[in-house]
Structure 1
Amino acid sequence: MLKALWILIQVLFVCFTFLSLTQIDGQVDLSWKNYVMEVHLGAALAAFFGFLFVILLVHKLLIHFFDIPKVVARKWEDRSMKKSHLSLTRALTLMSAGDYKHAAYHAYRAQKLLPERYEKGAGTFIEAISAQKMGQDSRARDLYKKLLDNKEGAFLGIQGLMQDDIQSQKFDHALLKANRARTLYPKQPWILKTVYDLQIRTGQFEEALSTLKTLLKADKKNAATLAKDEVALLVALSDKVSSDDPKQGIALLKRAVRLEQDFVPAVKRLALLYIDMGKSRAAQKVISACWKSNPHPELADIWASLAPENTARKPQQRLRWFEKLVALNPQNIESQIAAARAAIDDGLWGEARTYLMAAEKIEEREDVYQLWAELERLSTRNEEAEAAWLRKAHTALPKPEWICRLTHKRYNQWYAIAQPHGAFNKIVWQRPFAETSSGRTETISAFQHGLIASN
């Protein structure tokens, strides 16, 4: 409506202009050789401007005429783009439904319909994923490589190739591609996390520590978990360098202990390195500091290696050494068990009974009753009493162990990387898992008995 009104206004303006020109008074004489032509001035002006108007109109018509191929091409392109987008939508729908064969077909069709000057990365990516799902790994890799031609498509290609390398356990190759993705998008948390995980997988702990600092700034939501990873990384790195450079190993472990004073794997390794270097007092100090908040049997074993020998004048010197641990944390069962173990080893039956009774009051655990059975066997040789204690041990709470939180696999000690599945910092000190009637695995009596697991 408005367009028609605008055209009417333009026509009226032209008509008004011509009428106004014809009303101008005057005369124009045109002479050529012997010919003379007298023309009214208004009519001459109207004719002149009318001639210009016709020229402009013809020019415009010619422009539109020569633009017809471009208009037709543009219309055809728009039609192709609509068909391409429809094919792409169908490909995504089919892929989500698990029909990868037809999804690949529609993704390929979407690429063919799309004009050359447009980015075709989405269709190629869908086709590559579909090929991978159908087991056509070689074709999938070729399609991913095809995406590396430009920046936008390159990221999709790198991501696909990287995931393929990870599935094939080619972690070195995957890390190269992850680093390339990082150069394209250096602040993406998930890319940083992938680089970080692959650096750990390939044993590049020092580089992982550097990446972790960047990741902590980019991923605020998981900052607490990542901070614990830093401690585990420092311990892992110390394991790698301590045999060649004990001083560097000690420096790394001291950093770990400063971040988390009661992280048993760090404290244990630091104490052992101190002992190897003849620094027994330093070893005692770090064990004592950890024992106040997180007693652990592995630390008790190291403490035993530092204990003075009994003498004729001081027959209970070793027990007094362990009583220092009891004084540091008397309400913890590990303190009482450590003292009871020392008393049994030294034949101090009365003291052993005292500590075992204290341990039993804290928690009725299998290793407590196993020590009761050993005490009966050594002190009274009462086989019936020993068997009774062993029966109680069989039904009592199990003692904690090093267990992977992901697989529930048990380990004889803490490792930074849980093999064979390669999970990092997932081994924790807790009770073993038991199968429930519902088929799930749960920590035995962890909630009912208030176990606090150490990392």
Structure 2
Amino acid sequence: MIRILLFLLVVFLLGLGFAWLADRPGDMIVTFNGYQYEVKLIVAAVAVTAIVAAMMLLWWLTKSIWNSPYTIARYFRVRRRDRGYQALSTGMIAAGAGDAALARKMNRQAAKLIRSDQEPLVQLLDAQASLLEGDHEAARSKFEMMLDDPEMRLLGLRGLYLEAERLGHREAARHYASRAADVAPQLGWASESTQEEKVERGDWDGALKLVEAQKSTRHIDPSAANRRRAVLLTAKAMSTLDSDLPAARQAALEANRLAPEFAPTAMIAARALFRQDDIRKGSRIIETAWKAEPHPELADLYVHARPGDAVLDRLSRARRLQSLKQNHPESSLAVARAALDAGEYKIAREEAEAAIRMQPRESAYLLLADIEEAETSDQGKVRQLLAKAMRASRDPAWVADGFASERWAPASPVTGKIDAFEWRVPVERLGQLIEQDEEVSQAVRPAIEAPSKPDADMVELASELGESKPPPPKAEPRKRQEAAAPPVTDAVTEDEEPRPTRLPDDPGVNPEEAEQSQRRFRLF
């Protein structure tokens, strides 16, 4: 477009100049070799212009003839290159679609038309075609050849990393990822795998440097980077808490500053502060995390912040924690545990029952059973509560990739993924899915179903205590199930043998057998 405008401008200026000369007539006299030539000025200007144009045309024609071999060669070279890129494009599309035959065919055509050192995509198409054909050895060799080319090095490392992951060679995959992360830390796959390796080895500082590199290159969201730093700093503080308390405190406080509502950061920061007798600051950290999401470990740490406190002082601290998050089962359970330790059984029972009303789960029933045993020693009620605990929903736990743990960890033990643990309820207990597994059902079902016949020992005990109904015929004692004792029912049908309408409590249970019974009820 610019050239056209320049051409029109030159033509306009020439026309304007000739018009100006035509309006101003004049003669031009030229003396040469004794002759005198006289012409009009306009004629002389046209002649000069024609001579210049002829010289330019002659120069262009001479130059074109001189450069014609190169021009012809360049034409065929460009045509060949265009055909090669067309084949390369078709091959890449075929590789993406999974057409191995067409991808290999187009790769051969592209390799003939384009040199691989000039176009790296030819090598990539070759490797992709080998992968589609199932020739992984050839693909790995091609990826290894790419390592010698600085432009293709990252692509080769990526290919070798994926091949190592496919074969399950975790160490080799992390080796390639580490090499890629050294060159380009902004690569997510490389930095993630390298961080997992460093976390597994306990190299917290190295993992933190990678996070900083990702954050500086803006290839990771700042909030995600802060969360990752908080997790790594928490793990670093946990590993150095016993050996280097000042460094652990510094790392824990920085982690808590980045994620103040994350329970593990609050717990490790509070522990470090409590060890240095900074009870007030540690308590504030726990209170902040408790308001966001109550956690039983936070409650235990808060209540036992001062080892020398009396049990009533611990109950008061539990009450303080409950006031920060009311109408929550963890708050009620924290007060119930503190009240049980203090011997305030009424308060403990009320809070435990309140927790059950809000969320009936295993720990609440077990705590209520402990309260019942401590207050009344009523083994019948204790066993009833233990049976309810066995059937209740599980308590929340740290879960990552299907693995449930009582303690938080910075990475998943299954996949090695960082920050994989979540505080949530794991899959339901095996006893609630027992009907789907016949083998387990045969072992556990007697412990969760009511017996068809009453225990002979219980019937004899009822007759000794003066029950109104006559005892049933003497029968062989049923073998006790190892899983748990069966629950007692109050009513009987017409088809069943006579049994007492209401069985009394069993005051004759041996305390050791009761403890074993309680342990048997806990399937998990």
Tell me whether the two structures share a fold, i.e. TM-score over 0.5: yes
Residue 184 of structure 2 aligns to a residue whose secondary structure is helix
Deviation of residue 364 (structure 1)? 2.7
| 1:42-441 matches, cutoff 5 A | 64=64, 67-100=67-100, 102-114=102-114, 119-148=118-147, 152-164=151-163, 168-169=169-170, 170=172, 171-182=174-185, 191=187, 194-195=190-191, 197-203=193-199, 204-216=203-215, 219=218, 222-277=221-276, 283-303=282-302, 305-306=304-305, 316-404=312-400, 407-433=401-427
CA, structure 1 residues 131+243, in 2 after alignment: closer, same or farther (shift >3 Å)? farther
> Partners in 1 of 2:277 and 2:51 — Cα distance?
111
Query: Tell me, what secondary structure is at the counterpart of 1:417?
Result: coil
Q: Deviations over 1:287-343 (max 9, x none)?
A: 344334433111233345446668xxx774543443333344343221211221233
1:178-228 deviations in whole A, cap 9, x for unaligned? Answer: 22135xxxxxx5x26742552343234324434434534655884333332
1:23-49 CA-partner distances (Å, limit 9, x unpaired): x9999999xxxxxxx9x999xxxxxxx
CA contact (8 A) 1:162 1:178 kept: no
Counterpart Cα distance in 2 of 1:100 and 1:324: 69
Provide the TM-score with structure 1 as the length reference: 0.70
Measured against aligned partners, the alpha-carbon deviations of 1:248-283 in whole angstroms (never above 9, x if no partner) come to: 111010111122223211222233334455655654
Distance 2:140 2:365 in 1: 60
Output one character per residue of 1:158-180: Cα deviation in whole Å (capped at 9) or x when no partner.
44345445654231332122221
8 A contact 2:228–2:419 mirrored in 1 = yes
* Structure 1 residue 126, shift from structure 2 partner: 2.0
Residue 133 and residue 249 in structure 1: after superposition, are their counterparts in 2 closer, same or farther (change >3 A)? farther
Code of the residue aligned with 2:125 in structure 1: it is I
- Aligned 8 A contact 1:343 1:352 in 2: yes
The 1:265/1:64 distance shift into structure 2, 3 A limit, reads same
Contact preservation (8 Å) 1:159, 1:178: no
1:14 corresponds in structure 2 to none
- For 2:507, the equivalent position in structure 1 comes to none
Gaps of 5+ in 2: 1-6, 8-27, 40-49, 434-524
Q: How much is the aligned-residue C-alpha RMSD, in angstroms?
A: 4.5
Q: How many pairs were matched up?
A: 396
CA drift of 1:346 comes to 4.5
- Matching residue's letter, 1:75: Y
Report if the CA contact (8 A) 1:377-1:386 is conserved.
yes
Deviation at residue 425 of structure 1 after TM alignment: 0.7
1:15 is matched with none
What stretches of structure 1 of length at least 5 have no aligned partner?
Answer: 1-5, 7-23, 31-37, 43-49, 183-188, 438-455
1:371 partner amino acid: L
Rounded to whole Å, the distance in 2 between the matches of 1:98 and 1:326 is 60
Q: Deviations over 1:101-154 (max 9, x none)?
A: 5424422431331157x7311111122233345454443344334445655444
Residues 148 and 88 of structure 1, relative CA distance in 2, 3 Å threshold: same
Give, as a single letter, the amino acid of the residue that structure 1 aligns with 2:353: M
